[in-house]
Structure 1
């Protein structure tokens, strides 16, 4: 379930728009010199969105300042399926640049890391990588990648002034969340308790996808069972909750009146201006909101989607993209590539990325800090990562099973057109074709 705005599944936000990986638009083969001339030159394959290029150039600048004997050139590649195919083709033909950025999770597994990538499990910094991230770049017990960028959380963005005005507390259970919504509707009728923006259908999925920490907390084996066709959304009570919550918010009349047509910019405006109290979304939208409404850096906070058990309250995470070395990189180039990865996976590397652009969430490297200038909503993510057991991966990083129609289904459930159980059953049917195409056992 890879979130991509305008498509089915999950997406990442970069440079103010959701983008979940290092993929970006551009033409393969363009390159630029970066850093000072040295005795070893390596090439770094990156995405071609402005923020990707800005981030890569800043990393190269700061790295080569410390390593003047190494020069790094960049190449770019397209986004989406075209970019995926280029990565797979260049790996299979032995034509991959010395270092490249790519997805984590199921798409990482699809490029046969054991065959194509250099293991970095023996590097001393591996112990400093966040465990959630390491899971997404590990195959057969070997770690192959370091993180570029910060985590994103599937969470609830909320209006701090509305909470202060009504004396509300951040909820840790769904019952507390709904009680807050009831109080907002009763005492401040000019404020929509829950913002929904079904004019951009991908935004309708958060109550389901952002709830996966709660699913895992109740049923730790769900991801594996789901992959093996042994668990279903419609028949697993914990997994069904996300659909039920989507339905409950609509049935209680908590959505904004224009939920059916409103789009992401409308939702961000409502939240930033206090016309809406809660907006279930990815933390990656925060940068875009703050760019348009600077005061939102202080007036909008974030909390994890609450479940039934306050003691298990936690945040569902989307991990950063990964940086990898292909096995075709050897000799002095391999040594240089490993040094570059070590820099990226260090506090200095995180600081370099922060210089290039505000992080979408906490970094996946221990010792890295967000600084004081990031928006409050991003700061609110850090405690979940710091507390053991208070964060876990989104399902897309644990299972390759996904379907194209989830966003249409959640729009129907959230609009009162389809009941939660029916929507969940429809999505269970929706994933079958893709699972069969992947040749997964049990389908």
Structure 2
């Protein structure tokens, strides 16, 4: 999945495309079921995806392969806009019973906003779920029911780093934040920008906070629950405030690139690839960006998780693939056809096609799915955290709360305008407004 401008203020949303929408296929709710002109005499169903070119290419390739394997079901791909317009369309179709037979959408907190227990068909007990990794099912579950299967690969929030710079300076991948700062000081002494920041795209300021959640959860396993209930705060939790403090520290110690205020993601990637910057806190989805702007340097770039205070609990803050779901409006023959398509999606054949259409940014969370042998080092590094079970979900997968002002607040911290403590308290106020809008208890 390529890394593009944000569709929402969550880092998962930041990975979605924000291109101009394509026109949706004209159809009424009644036209989404069986078709008498599909040529095969079977049941025809539609699969709704967003209109990112890469998404469309993958969805169409999957549909073509599935259709070629059997004659009982025919899948046709339809598209929707991205961003807020697309989110609203999905919710409206679900609420009015006019959703396509099968559709792809986010997992985690954005999935929860679909009111799955009233709008989606539960899949609990279906045999095809046996092949889905246990780390994924909580991201598409509500109550005791599972509602989706994964599409795409997992990815991580951490640090892209120039392996050649590390090798030249004799550095090891840091296991603690103190190690990270020590490495950064050595990199600075060598005349290289230690920590690349790109506030010309303000959402990139969030990584040192949101990508640190594995460390927060390790220090306080109940933080997400307490945070959602309004009892835990960033300003008063000793672990949660660390991301704000780290953002301030790299500024105060002059560890960032000189043009941090105006640089954008592609600028940061070019700097990293050229060895002019050594470490860039970002998502592993930027494999695609590197392949776009510096393809000959892809082997020079690795990835490590944001380190915390304790090397013994070092691990990855993980983001998960989106899901594929069946609305409750899909019934009868179309429901059975939809389940056959979901069964196909969680097979090695499906994963192989996905790999052909886009470079994996982490592991597939499906049994039997193997990464191609030539995946970038970044992908291998992310997958290693999953293989060793040293990962935990980003906060957005365990809590619906994220205030919209975080990126602007952190730009101020990273620019020396606001202190970490003041920023955390301000963000707690921002979060309170959002929690109240969601109608959560305790706020």
TM-score (structure 1 length as normaliser): 0.93
Q: Give 2:336's aligned residue.
A: 335
- Contact residue 361 and residue 378 of structure 2 kept, 8 A: no
Task: Output the CA distance in 2 between the equivalents of 1:306 and 1:135.
Answer: 25
Say which of 89, 101, 106 aligns to 1:103.
106
- Contact residue 20 and residue 318 of structure 1 kept, 8 A: no
Residue 4 (structure 1) shift: 7.7
Task: Output the CA distance in 1 between the equivalents of 2:151 and 2:7.
Answer: 24
1:26 aligns with 2:17: no
Residue 306 (structure 1) shift: 0.3
SS at match of 1:73: strand
Q: Give 1:211's aligned residue.
A: 212
Q: Give 1:63's aligned residue.
A: 66
Q: Give 1:231's aligned residue.
A: 232
SS at match of 2:243: helix
Residue 36 (structure 1) shift: 6.9
SS at match of 1:71: strand
SS at match of 2:197: coil
> Which aligned pairs between 1:236-385 and structure 2 lie closer than 5 A?
236-385=237-386
Task: Output the CA distance in 2 between the equivalents of 1:382 and 1:92.
Answer: 38
SS at match of 1:131: coil
Which structure 2 residue ranges, 5 or more long, are not aligned? none
Residue 26 (structure 1) shift: 2.8
- Contact residue 22 and residue 101 of structure 1 kept, 8 A: no
Deviation by residue 1:202-225 (Cα, 9 ceiling, x = unmatched): 111100000001101111111111
- Contact residue 207 and residue 246 of structure 1 kept, 8 A: yes
Q: Give 2:411's aligned residue.
A: 411
1:170 aligns with 2:162: no
Q: Which moved more, 1:36-45 or 1:171-180?
A: 36-45
Residue 38 (structure 1) shift: 4.5
Residue 366 (structure 1) shift: 2.6
Q: Give 1:124's aligned residue.
A: 127
Residue 35 (structure 1) shift: 9.2
Deviation by residue 1:338-376 (Cα, 9 ceiling, x = unmatched): 111111112111111112221232112132122122211
Residue 30 (structure 1) shift: 5.1
Q: Which moved more, 1:35-44 or 1:374-383?
A: 35-44
Q: Give 2:442's aligned residue.
A: 442
Task: Output the CA distance in 1 between the equivalents of 2:41 and 2:296.
Answer: 45
Kindly tell me: are residues 121 and 21 of structure 1, through their superposed partners in 2, closer, same or farther at Cα, counting changes over 3 Å?
farther
> Which aligned pairs between 1:135-214 and structure 2 lie closer than 5 A?
135-186=138-189, 188-189=190-191, 191-214=192-215
Q: Which moved more, 1:107-116 or 1:174-183?
A: 107-116
- Contact residue 4 and residue 12 of structure 1 kept, 8 A: no
SS at match of 2:118: helix
- Contact residue 35 and residue 72 of structure 1 kept, 8 A: no
Which structure 1 residue ranges, 5 or more long, are not aligned? none
Task: Output the CA distance in 1 between the equivalents of 2:347 and 2:39.
Answer: 21
Q: Give 1:45's aligned residue.
A: 48
Kindly tell me: are residues 291 and 373 of structure 1, through their superposed partners in 2, closer, same or farther at Cα, counting changes over 3 Å?
farther
Task: Output the CA distance in 1 between the equivalents of 2:19 and 2:107.
Answer: 11
Task: Output the CA distance in 2 between the equivalents of 1:392 and 1:21.
Answer: 25
Cα RMSD (Å): 2.2
Divergent runs of 4+, >6 A: 21-24, 31-36
- Contact residue 35 and residue 61 of structure 1 kept, 8 A: no
Q: Give 1:10's aligned residue.
A: 10
Residue 423 (structure 1) shift: 0.7
Task: Output the CA distance in 2 between the equivalents of 1:54 and 1:195.
Answer: 33
Kindly tell me: are residues 24 and 36 of structure 1, through their superposed partners in 2, closer, same or farther at Cα, counting changes over 3 Å?
farther
Deviation by residue 1:79-100 (Cα, 9 ceiling, x = unmatched): 1222222112211221111101
Task: Output the CA distance in 1 between the equivalents of 2:19 and 2:149.
Answer: 16
Task: Output the CA distance in 2 between the equivalents of 1:365 and 1:378.
Answer: 16
TM-score (structure 2 length as normaliser): 0.93
SS at match of 1:298: helix
User: How many residues are matched?
Assistant: 434
Kindly tell me: are residues 118 and 321 of structure 1, through their superposed partners in 2, closer, same or farther at Cα, counting changes over 3 Å?
same
